[in-house]
Chains A and B, each alone.
Chain A
């Protein structure tokens, strides 16, 4: 390769010109047909062929660079491997890293523990699918919910936290890569629910997507950077649960003086705010598909000692969290959402490295509480 294989400059330039012409023609044919070859390739997943589908969505270790579009995430997941059996009562779980089972092996996650309880409704066995994803955001969750509705769930259990409902640009922007990859789905939802989402969209549009020069729209042969990430998705898991596992137990530690979120933190000035409308959009989307939606206030550490008189834990100041709980309760009642507040159901001793990450026993307690809720109070979705 040191010397050109072509006999002279004219031959070289002729071949180069032909190659460029083929690339241009292929590019414009792909643009015209709306076909993106890379997006097609990343839908193929050997994990389905060699295994049983992932128990959870792919977690990238490099969150800012290593994500895949939702279609590709679902292509790797167990929920897409085979058609739903007739005797399955399909439940999908939405939420953030704690519900996804950060630091836990598959069998100890909430979804697997819920399935293991062999709950039956109307002769059908409850099978729970873990669709939770790190980084709190109800906007992100609604996109996952929207995709999940294509897999015929019976029930969506959606765990929320104050951070997931935060309206600050910085918190919402933490999911920018996710929004970039799934912008068409987000824009479709905004178009479908303009009265609920337009104000949020206008307020956050600048920070939602990475700006792209207009000329990039003329390039169909794009997204190649997804290919190595897709190749990574063939290895399970990205962040292995056993390596993320923590021996730490926050319940034994005093509550710190500083909480990450306080009453003064940006994005919490008003509760509810525009971001909260995603709860209503999620409910409406589920209702359209005839799917029940249960909204859950996610359990968190209620610490003792130290500055526990001011803060519940390192994440939340008491004043802020109490205001949030009250607002969420009022919001759920006002909009007729099926809602259960399980904020204190898991004992402090069960929390590991963060106030929202519990151990296997913690999630066993939560699974039992959910079983009680579902058995005693199963309702159809009635969104207002």
Chain B
């Protein structure tokens, strides 16, 4: 570890310590913003080990400024187009790849633009809120702390500016926040390093994405392990983020709520990556549905629902990466949500005295939902041709 990196760790941790104290003392917003930016910049630097990543962090700051000002002008929609274009750019191969500045001097490495997927969605939200005039009581400093807080910078969750603002203004107990924050960090660290990493070791040895020609039994074991690995890994990061946010007096929203115990796919998406699904619901599904219905009325209601689900979940898929596998994974869920919506709209409302007791019905629902979600993870794990081979292998076919 070089001196620069050690210094970055020391200064970054010092700045975050200062942020903890400043937040609980309700120090000036300027001081809290300064400590937030220093902590975030140095977090990015120590994670990427690329000084040039700081330039991208500087661009992040410029984008928040831009959002703050342009969101209030008639060009707000153009700003959203720019943010979407940058989001797509950040996911392009070669930019998103592992190339580093040292390997390709002057070339932007997307490894360095850490957390932009989350930032872009926060900024789009901020733009819409600014356009709608709902930021009157929010200060620029609060908006910047919301967008660039080190706790949620890398792996979310995708908070909303008003809840963040309320949290930033709320006076909380330092000891209580240290207690609950450290607890969440401990839980997250355990989940990541003990559970997720153990599951990953299993997955790596039987990596179906690399070698799909493995026996059916092993293919299923790999898939089950992969499904729990994804949950453990992401939930761990969320726990750690929420814990660090809490240390600094910021209440970040929950992102997971026992998703694999959901009795339907609709409920699953209310419990899995909650902040992302809420975001796409508010900014893609509802606006698209409203727009289509205002044009077509109720004549194509079912078709509109199908289209809205497919587009929304397709975007969710592509938000994870520009690949056919992610797109198909999104469409898989879009179809699942559509079919479930159609069935539940037409099915008679269940009564406790129905054919199936409530608990049995719930258990069947959980099993079916878990099976559907888990099978969908195949597209998340591998490129499309490999995913098809894996699915063939799962069902005992030679692919």
Contact = CB atoms under 8 A, between A and B. Distances in A.
B178 A225 contact: no
A335 B380 CA distance: 58
Interface string A221-238: 000110111011001001
A177 B340 CA distance: 49
Interface stretch (B93-101, B208-216, B294-302): B208-216
A285 B113 CA distance: 56
B182 interface: yes
Interface in B175-221: 175-176, 178-180, 182-184, 186-187, 197-199, 201-202, 204-207, 210-211, 213-215, 217-218, 221
Contacts of A13: 182
Contacts of A61: 205-207, 210-211, 214
Interface of B: 175-176, 178-180, 182-184, 186-187, 197-199, 201-202, 204-207, 210-211, 213-215, 217-218, 221, 254
Interface residues of A, number: 28
Given A224-B198, A227-B198, A235-B217, A60 B183 contact: no
A282 to B, nearest CB: 30
Interface stretch (A3-11, A188-196, A303-311, A355-363): A3-11
B180 A4 contact: yes
B205 A62 contact: yes
Given A225-B201, A235-B218, A9 B179 contact: yes
A243 B211 CA distance: 11
A16 interface: yes
Given A61-B214, A228-B198, A12 B182 contact: yes
A76 to B, nearest CB: 14
Interface in A241-272: 243-244
17 contacts: A3-B180, A12-B179, A13-B182, A61-B205, A61-B206, A61-B207, A61-B211, A62-B204, A65-B201, A225-B201, A228-B198, A229-B201, A229-B205, A231-B202, A232-B206, A239-B214, A243-B214
A221 to B, nearest CB: 12
Name the residue among A1, A16, A61, A231 with the largest chain B CB count within 10 angstroms.
Answer: A61
A267 B205 CA distance: 30
Nearest to B254: A2
B205 A243 contact: no
B202 A232 contact: yes
B215 A240 contact: yes
Interface in A327-345: none
A313 B206 CA distance: 32
Nearest to A65: B204
A66 interface: yes
